[in-house]
Structure 1
Amino acid sequence: MEKSYMSVFLLLVALSCTLAKEPPKKETKGPKDTKDTKETKPKLPQTLSRGWGDHLHWTQTYEEALFRSKTSNKPVMIIHHLEDCPHSQALKKVFAENKEIQKLAEKFVLLNLVYETTDKNLSPDGQYVPRILFIDPSLTVRADITGRYSNRLYAYEPSDAPLLLANMQKALNTLKTEL
């Protein structure tokens, strides 16, 4: 009886060891032989831009953005978005590909957030994405610079690129008249 238990035990150990091993990797013969193997690119570390404009200088935190705004006398542009939101992804694509927006964005202290801040001034009409707010160097949220929607004042869609560009210019022009 003990021999049969021992045999079953050894069989289970051997079976579990066999199942725990990784399957053998397929060798590829060259770049043309890609039918049987999946090509995976190494994942690059995510930059602070998160794809909104890699050549632009982005700040890491809300507090850093406010500090840089105050010391450089530049307005802050905060983009609230989510990586898995199709609306955020569509706006990001337009933002990153629009040369005028990218050029004008260089004149701002930039921050994109994929999380909510504790500052309730950054969600005056709710916590939705994507939304873009402007803050002047006196650290005042610009409630007068809004998108075209009455129920989501700071929302922009890809088709709103001209309005976003105009609002960016408005944030900069107001700053110049205050100097």
Structure 2
Amino acid sequence: MELSASTHSIRALGGERERVGGWEGPSAVSSSLAKPEKNIAKRGKRIPQTLSRGNTPSPYYFSKLITTYEEALYWARAQNKPLMVIFHLEDCPHSASMKKAFAEDKDIQKVADEDFIILNLVYETTDKHLSPDGQYVPRIIFVDPSMTVRADITGRYSNRMYAYEPSDIKLLLSNMQKAKKLLKTEL
């Protein structure tokens, strides 16, 4: 999905759409306005992806706000990318330290921006597959585009299998690579 800051045009799944007054509809403007500008991402400084609520990195321009698990599943399937669901709390010191480590690691940022749909949740979902070993924060679960929760990709803790600490950032990167590689071999 592409969103151009100058024209507010959206290209989703190959079709041109125009956002007018908060509504989306078929593009009714000239083709010069409907086409997204090239190299916008190279012009400005990219804001690092954090554990901020609902933001997902866009591989094209800037973050698109994804707020629900269902919407994230849709985009993961539509873009054929794995989904990374991050459960956290804003007032949790463990979540805050993980947020900082996640935002500061350039390798994590690159992989997250290019290869994943990210969903940050500060609430639990009703899907029991997203809490196979209980509800705790921070917790990171991977879901492939076929909507299969990747319970095999875990952290290093036996009592909190999907938890990561700031010292585990390289393990998280490795697990992101696993989620990405299996995607290519499975499909």
- Structure 2 match to 1:72: 79
TM-score, normalised via structure 2 length: 0.67
Given that 1:49 and 1:56 are in contact with CA atoms closer than 8 Å, whether structure 2 keeps it comes out as no
Q: CA deviation at 1:178?
A: 1.7
- Structure 2 match to 1:13: none
Q: How many residues align?
A: 133
- Structure 2 match to 1:36: none
Given that 2:51 and 2:88 are in contact with CA atoms closer than 8 Å, whether structure 1 keeps it comes out as no
Please say if 1:97 is aligned against 2:104. yes
User: What's the Cα RMSD here?
Assistant: 2.1
- Structure 2 match to 1:18: none
* Distance of aligned partners of 1:97 and 1:56 in 2 relative to their CA distance in 1, 3 Å threshold: farther
- Partners in 2 of 1:101 and 1:57 — Cα distance? 18
Q: 1:36-84 deviations in whole A, cap 9, x for unaligned?
A: xxxxxxxxxxx99618887554521111000111111111000000000
Q: 117, 134, 137: which is aligned to 2:142?
A: 134
Q: 88, 96, 103: which is aligned to 2:95?
A: 88
Given that 1:48 and 1:59 are in contact with CA atoms closer than 8 Å, whether structure 2 keeps it comes out as no
Show structure 2 runs of 5+ residues with no match: 1-48
Please say if 1:120 is aligned against 2:128. yes
Given that 2:51 and 2:99 are in contact with CA atoms closer than 8 Å, whether structure 1 keeps it comes out as no
Given that 1:58 and 1:110 are in contact with CA atoms closer than 8 Å, whether structure 2 keeps it comes out as no
Given that 1:75 and 1:135 are in contact with CA atoms closer than 8 Å, whether structure 2 keeps it comes out as yes
The secondary structure found in structure 2 opposite 1:137 is: coil
Given that 1:91 and 1:156 are in contact with CA atoms closer than 8 Å, whether structure 2 keeps it comes out as yes
Higher strand share: 2
- Structure 1 match to 2:152: 144
* Distance of aligned partners of 1:53 and 1:142 in 2 relative to their CA distance in 1, 3 Å threshold: closer
* Distance of aligned partners of 1:49 and 1:162 in 2 relative to their CA distance in 1, 3 Å threshold: closer
Show structure 1 runs of 5+ residues with no match: 1-46
The secondary structure found in structure 2 opposite 1:148 is: coil
What is the identity percentage for the equivalent residue pairs of Structure 1 and Structure 2?
Answer: 66
Given that 1:125 and 1:153 are in contact with CA atoms closer than 8 Å, whether structure 2 keeps it comes out as yes
- Structure 1 match to 2:42: none
* Distance of aligned partners of 1:56 and 1:99 in 2 relative to their CA distance in 1, 3 Å threshold: farther
- Partners in 1 of 2:76 and 2:95 — Cα distance? 25
Which 4+ runs in 1 deviate beyond 3 A?
51-58
Higher helix share: 1
Given that 1:79 and 1:112 are in contact with CA atoms closer than 8 Å, whether structure 2 keeps it comes out as yes
- Partners in 2 of 1:74 and 1:112 — Cα distance? 16
Given that 2:133 and 2:161 are in contact with CA atoms closer than 8 Å, whether structure 1 keeps it comes out as yes
Please say if 1:173 is aligned against 2:181. yes
- Structure 1 match to 2:52: 50
